[in-house]
C-alpha cells in the first residue's frame, strides 16, 4: 500500500500532497466503461440516472443494461464532470459492478464507497466525497430500473430529516459537511455557514450525526 | 502512461504567478550572508555592523525604487505577513469602524477582514465588473465618515486584471481633504504587480503596500510592507523590537538582500519583459480562444498583467486537465473546487458573475522569463488533445454565454445543500 502512494501532485494553494495511487492514474487515463456515444435510441439502455454533488459541483450520468432473468448488471456506462479521482472512482465502480458476469442489482447496491477506494489503492481523505458520487448515481439508476419494471416497492427513497428547524438543516447537510472534511461541531458550523445547533438537544443530535458519517465514510 | 514514469519529458512551467525560480543574480547577491557574513545585525561588533550595513543598504535600495524613505520599509516573511501586519496592525486596536475592500482579493486580505467583521467592523465589498476591474467611482460612493481602511489589490492573482490604484488613491486623498477624515488608511496588495507595474507610492497614493519576493525571482519567505511614516501600526509579532518595533525577530539579512536585488532587477527589466510577455500572452489567448471550441477568457483582455492568461474551458473540470497536462510535462493551475482546501470553487471567477461551472473549469497559465513561443505552441497542441478527450468523458454541455448553473435540478433532486450554497452559485 505504501509503495504505490507516491506523491505527485502538490496543491499550489495549500502545499498539501495528494497521494494518488497508480491504479487511480491508470483509471483516470484509461477509464473503463465510459459512454462514448450518446445512446441512439432511448430504450437502448434499461435505466438511466444523473446526480450532482453540491460539495464540489461534480456531476455524473449513468446508463445501465440489466439481464431481466437474473437481474444482473450487464452493462454500466457513465460520463462524469469532475476531477481525476471522480473519474477513476466511477471507472472502478463500473468495473466492480460488471466484472465476472455482473452483480445482481441487490448486491450492487451494497457496494460502498470504501470498497471502491480499497480497489483503487486508497484516496486522500479530502477526496473521499468524489467516490461517493458513483454510488449515488447508481442508486438513481437502480431506482429508475425499479420504476420502469413496475417494482415500485423496491425504490429506495433517501429522505432527509431536519435536525435544526431554525435553518432547515438536514442530516444530508451534515453528511455533506463531513464529506467535505468537517470532523467537529465547529467545523460543521463553518461549512454550513450558519450557527447550527443553538440548543443542547440539537447540538447532541448534530454531534451524533458527525460521528455516524465519519464512521461511515472514514471509519 | 503513468505520470510518475514520465521523468524524461521536458517540463514547461507556466505557473509563474504561483512562484518563480530564483534569479541567479539574486542568489549570488545573498550568497555571502550564509557563511562568511553571518552576523546578527543587533551586534555592536564588526560582524554585527557588517550585517546591519547590508540590511540597511537593502532597505535604502527598496525605498529608492518605490519612492519612499528607508524607515518606511518593514521586512517580513512574505506577502501574507505584510498584509496581515497592514490590516490587523492598523485596525485591531480600534474597536470598530467601516472597511472597504473588494470581493476578489487574495485570501490573505479577505480572512483578516472577515476576522475583523466578527469583531464588530462594518465591511463594504466593492463589486467588480464582468471584466474583473474595479471602478474608482464605486470606491468613492462607498466612502463614509467612519471609514477607517480601504484595501484594494493592485493586480489580481488569478485573472491578472490591473486595478486603478492611482485613481482610487486620488479619490481617497480628495475625500480626506474634503472631510478632514485623517484616520482613513489606504492599503494595496501589490504582490502580483511588482514584476510589471509602477510601484511609486506617491503616484499610487497609498499609505501601505505589501510586496513579496517569491513572485519576482526572489526566494520564498521574504517580503516587505511599505508603511507611510505617519501611519500607526500595532506589531503582530512581539519580542526584541526589530524593524522599528513593528516586527520582532532577528533580521533575515540574506533574504533582505535578496528582496532588494529581486525588486531592483524586476523594476529595471519590467518594461522590456512586459513588452515581450504581452506579445506571448496575446498569442496564447488568441490561439486558445480561436482553436479550441468553447474557451472563454476571464478578465479584461488588455487591462491585465503581461504574463497572465486565465481561461474557462467549458464542460471540463480543472483538476483533471491539470493532471492530464502534467503528464505531458506542463505545469499550470486551476480555480476548480477540487484543488482548493475548502472545496469551494474560485471566488475570483464567481465574483465576475460567472456560473460555478466556469470557475470549476478555469485554468490559469502565467508566463515568465523562460517562456518562449515554442513552449506556447506545445501547450496549445497538448491542450487541444486533452480537452477533446475530457469532453468525451464529461456529461455536460454548457452555453458559453450562460449566466447561471446548467442543471440545478440535478443537485436539487438530491435534496442536498443547493440552498446553502445558492448565495455563491447563481
Other CB atoms within 10 Å distance of the CB of residue A4? 15
- What's the pLDDT at A54? 58
> Is A113 in the B-facing interface, judged by CB distances under 8 Å?
no
Q: Are A129 and A53 in contact (CB under 8 A)?
A: yes
CB within 8 Å: B416 and A54: yes
Of B324, B410, B420, the CB nearest to A59: B410
- What's the pLDDT at B406? 62
- What's the pLDDT at A7? 46
Give the residue with greater pLDDT, A160 vs B323: B323
Task: Write a three-state SS string for chain B.
Answer: CCHHHCCCCCCEECECCCCCCCCHHHHHHHHHHCCCCCCCCCCCCHHHHHHHHHHHHHHHHHHHHHCCCHHHEEEECCHHHHHHHHHHHHHCCCCCCEEEEECCCCHHHHHHHHHHHHCCCEEEEECCCCCCCCCHHHHHHHCCCCEEEEECCCECCCCCEECCHHHHHHHHHHHHHHHCCCCCEEEEECCCCCCCCCCCHHHHCCCEEEEECCCCCCCCCCEEEEECCCCCCCCCCCCCCCCCCCCCCCCCHHHHHHHHHHHHHHHHHHHHHHHHHHHHHHHHHHHHHHHCCCEEECCCCCCECCCEEEEEECCCCHHHHHHHHHCCCEECEECCHHHCCCCCCCHHHHHCCCCHHHHHCEEEEECCCCCCHHHHHHHHHHHHHHHHHHHHHCCCCCCCCCCCCCCHHHHHCCCCCHHHHCCCCC
Q: Which residues of chain B have pLDDT under 70?
A: 1-8, 341-343, 403-426
- Report the C-alpha gap between A121 and A162 in whole angstroms: 36
- The half-sphere exposure of B3 on its side-chain side, counting CA atoms within 13 A, is 31
> Is A56 in the B-facing interface, judged by CB distances under 8 Å?
yes
> Is A193 in the B-facing interface, judged by CB distances under 8 Å?
yes
- Report the C-alpha gap between B221 and B188 in whole angstroms: 20
Whole-complex ipTM: 0.79
Q: Which of B14, B393, B419 to mutate to test the interface with A (most CBs of A within 10 A)?
A: B393
Q: Which of B312, B331, B343, B398 to mutate to test the interface with A (most CBs of A within 10 A)?
A: B343
Task: Write a three-state SS string for chain A.
Answer: CCCCCCCCEECCCCCCEECCCHHHHHHHHCCCCECCCCCCCHHHCCEEEEEECCCCCCEEEEEEEECCCCCEEEEEEEEEECCHHHHHHHHHHHHHHHHHHCCEHHHHCCCCHHHHHHHHCCCCHHHHHHHHHHHHHHHHHHHHHHHHCCCHHHCCCCCCCEEECCCCEEHHHHHHHHHCCCCCHHHHHHHHCCCCCCCHHHHHHHHHHHHHHHHHHHC
CB within 8 Å: A25 and B2: yes
Which residue in chain B has the smallest CA separation from A192? B420
CB within 8 Å: B395 and A54: no
Provide the b/e sequence for A100-126 (b: ≥16 CB within 10 Å): eebbebeebbebebeebbebbbbbbeb
Q: Where are the domains of chain B?
A: 7-18+270-421, 24-266
The answer to whether A56 is a known catalytic residue is yes
B400-413 pLDDT per residue, tens:
777 666 665 555 44
With beta carbons under 8 A apart, name residues in chain B contacting A30. 1
With beta carbons under 8 A apart, name residues in chain B contacting A176. 416-417
- What's the pLDDT at A6? 44
B69-127 pLDDT per residue, tens:
999 999 999 999 999 999 999 998 898 999 999 999 999 999 999 999 999 999 999 99
CA distance A200 to chain B (A): 23
Helices A200-218, A171-179: axis angle to 10 degrees equals 50
Q: What is the dihedral of CA B93, B99, B102, B106, to 10 degrees?
A: 0
CA distance A125 to chain B (A): 12
> Is A155 in the B-facing interface, judged by CB distances under 8 Å?
no
Give the pLDDT band (50/70/90) at residue A193: low
CB within 8 Å: B420 and A193: yes
CB within 8 Å: B1 and A126: no
What residues of chain A, 82 to 101, have a C-beta less than 8 Å from chain B?
82-84, 86-87
Provide the b/e sequence for B241-255 (b: ≥16 CB within 10 Å): ebbeebbeeebbbbb
Q: Are A79 and A89 in contact (CB under 8 A)?
A: no
Q: Are A63 and A35 in contact (CB under 8 A)?
A: yes
* Fold entry, domain B24-266: 3.40.640
- What's the pLDDT at B419? 30
Show the cell assigned to B292.
Answer: 479550441
With beta carbons under 8 A apart, name residues in chain B contacting A50. 395, 407, 410
> Is A65 in the B-facing interface, judged by CB distances under 8 Å?
no
Q: Residue A55: is its pLDDT beyond 70?
A: no
Alpha carbon B12 to its chain's center? 22
Which residue in chain A has the smallest CA separation from B334? A12
Cross-strand partners of B162: B155
Q: Are B359 and B40 in contact (CB under 8 A)?
A: no
CA distance B1 to chain A (A): 8
On average, the pLDDT of chain A sits at 82
Helices B373-393, B253-291: axis angle to 10 degrees equals 60
- What's the pLDDT at B424? 34
Please give the domain boundaries of chain A with CATH numbers for all domains: 9-154 (3.90.1010.10), 162-218 (1.10.10.1100)
Phi and psi at residue B56, in whole multiples of 5°? -70, -35
Catalytic entry in A55, A56, A76, A196: A56
CA distance B409 to chain A (A): 9
Give the residue with greater pLDDT, A9 vs A178: A178
CA distance A40 to chain B (A): 16
The answer to whether B191 is a known catalytic residue is no
CA distance A69 to chain B (A): 31
Which residue in chain B has the smallest CA separation from A19? B4
- Report the C-alpha gap between A65 and A75 in whole angstroms: 5
> Is A50 in the B-facing interface, judged by CB distances under 8 Å?
yes
Query: What is the share, in percent, of chain A residues with pLDDT greater than 70?
Result: 85
- Report the C-alpha gap between A184 and A214 in whole angstroms: 10
A95-136 pLDDT per residue, tens:
999 999 999 999 999 998 889 988 998 887 777 777 788 888
- What's the pLDDT at B326? 93
- Report the C-alpha gap between B105 and A209 in whole angstroms: 35
CB within 8 Å: A13 and B340: yes
pTM of the model: 0.86
Give the residue with greater pLDDT, B172 vs A10: B172
> Is A2 in the B-facing interface, judged by CB distances under 8 Å?
no
- The half-sphere exposure of B223 on its side-chain side, counting CA atoms within 13 A, is 26
Q: What is the CATH code of the structural domain delimited by B7-18+270-421?
A: 3.90.1150.10
Catalytic entry in B3, B9, B338, B416: B338
Amino acid at each position: 500500500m505504501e509503495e504505490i502512494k507516491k506523491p505527485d501532485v502538490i496543491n499550489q494553494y495549500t502545499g498539501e500532497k495528494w497521494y494518488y495511487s497508480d491504479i487511480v492514474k491508470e483509471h483516470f487515463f484509461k477509464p473503463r466503461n465510459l459512454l462514448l456515444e450518446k445512446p441512439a435510441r432511448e430504450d437502448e439502455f434499461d435505466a438511466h440516472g444523473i446526480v450532482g454533488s453540491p460539495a464540489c459541483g461534480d456531476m455524473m450520468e449513468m446508463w445501465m443494461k440489466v439481464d431481466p432473468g437474473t437481474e444482473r448488471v450487464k452493462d454500466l456506462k457513465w460520463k462524469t464532470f469532475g476531477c481525476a479521482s471522480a473519474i477513476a472512482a466511477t471507472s472502478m465502480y463500473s468495473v466492480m459492478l460488471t466484472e465476472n458476469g455482473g452483480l445482481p442489482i441487490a448486491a450492487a447496491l451494497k457496494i460502498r464507497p470504501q470498497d471502491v477506494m480499497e480497489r483503487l489503492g486508497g484516496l486522500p481523505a479530502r477526496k473521499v466525497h468524489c467516490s461517493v458520487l458513483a454510488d449515488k448515481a447508481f442508486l438513481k439508476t437502480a431506482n429508475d430500473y425499479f420504476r420502469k419494471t413496475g417494482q415500485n416497492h423496491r425504490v429506495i427513497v433517501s429522505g432527509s430529516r431536519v435536525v435544526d428547524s431554525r435553518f432547515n438543516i438536514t442530516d444530508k447537510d451534515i453528511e455533506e459537511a463531513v464529506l467535505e472534511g468537517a470532523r467537529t461541531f465547529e467545523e460543521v458550523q463553518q461549512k454550513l455557514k450558519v450557527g447550527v445547533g443553538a440548543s443542547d438537544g440539537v447540538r447532541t443530535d448534530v454531534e451524533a450525526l458527525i460521528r455516524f458519517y465519519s464512521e461511515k465514510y472514514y471509519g | 502512461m503513468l505520470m510518475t514514469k514520465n521523468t524524461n519529458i521536458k517540463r514547461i512551467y507556466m505557473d509563474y504567478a504561483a512562484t518563480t525560480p530564483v534569479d541567479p543574480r539574486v542568489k549570488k547577491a545573498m550568497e555571502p550572508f550564509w557563511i562568511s557574513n553571518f552576523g546578527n545585525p543587533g551586534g555592536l561588533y564588526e560582524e554585527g555592523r557588517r550585517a546591519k550595513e547590508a540590511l540597511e543598504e537593502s532597505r535604502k535600495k527598496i525605498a529608492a525604487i518605490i519612492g519612499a524613505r528607508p524607515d518606511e520599509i518593514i521586512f517580513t516573511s512574505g506577502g501574507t505577513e505584510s498584509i496581515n501586519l497592514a490590516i490587523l496592525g492598523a485596525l485591531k486596536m480600534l474597536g470598530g469602524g467601516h472597511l472597504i475592500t473588494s470581493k476578489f482579493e487574495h485570501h490573505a486580505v479577505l480572512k483578516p477582514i472577515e476576522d475583523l467583521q466578527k469583531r464588530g467592523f462594518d465591511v463594504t465589498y466593492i463589486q467588480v465588473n464582468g471584466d474583473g476591474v474595479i471602478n474608482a467611482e464605486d470606491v468613492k460612493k462607498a466612502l463614509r465618515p467612519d471609514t477607517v481602511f480601504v484595501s484594494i489589490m493592485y493586480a489580481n492573482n488569478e485573472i491578472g486584471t490591473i486595478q486603478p490604484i492611482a485613481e482610487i488613491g486620488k479619490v481617497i486623498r480628495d475625500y480626506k481633504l474634503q472631510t478632514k477624515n485623517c484616520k482613513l488608511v489606504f492599503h494595496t496588495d501589490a504582490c502580483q504587480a511588482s514584476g510589471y507595474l509602477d510601484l511609486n507610492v506617491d503616484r499610487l497614493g497609498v499609505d501601505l503596500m505589501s510586496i513579496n519576493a517569491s513572485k519576482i525571482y526572489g526566494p520564498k519567505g521574504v517580503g516587505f510592507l511599505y508603511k507611510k511614516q505617519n501611519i500607526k501600526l500595532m506589531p503582530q509579532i512581539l519580542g526584541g523590537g526589530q524593524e522599528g518595533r513593528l516586527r520582532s525577530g532577528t533580521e533575515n539579512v540574506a533574504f533582505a538582500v535578496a528582496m532588494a536585488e529581486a525588486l531592483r532587477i524586476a523594476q529595471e527589466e519590467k518594461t522590456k519583459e512586459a513588452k515581450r510577455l504581452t506579445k506571448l500572452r496575446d498569442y496564447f489567448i488568441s490561439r486558445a480562444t480561436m482553436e479550441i471550441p468553447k474557451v472563454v477568457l476571464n478578465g479584461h483582455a488588455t487591462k491585465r498583467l503581461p504574463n497572465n492568461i486565465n481561461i474557462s474551458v467549458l464542460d471540463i473540470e480543472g483538476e483533471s486537465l491539470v493532471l492530464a497536462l502534467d503528464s505531458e510535462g506542463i505545469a499550470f493551475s486551476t480555480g476548480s473546487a477540487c484543488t482548493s482546501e475548502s472545496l469551494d470553487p474560485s471566488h475570483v471567477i464567481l465574483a465576475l458573475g460567472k456560473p460555478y461551472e466556469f470557475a470549476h473549469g478555469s485554468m490559469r497559465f502565467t508566463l515568465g522569463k523562460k517562456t518562449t513561443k515554442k513552449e506556447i505552441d506545445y501547450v496549445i497542441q497538448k491542450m487541444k488533445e486533452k480537452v477533446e478527450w475530457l469532453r468525451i468523458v464529461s456529461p455536460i454541455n454548457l452555453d458559453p454565454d450562460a449566466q447561471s448553473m446548467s442543471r440545478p435540478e440535478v443537485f436539487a433532486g438530491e435534496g442536498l445543500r443547493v440552498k446553502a450554497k445558492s448565495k455563491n452559485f447563481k
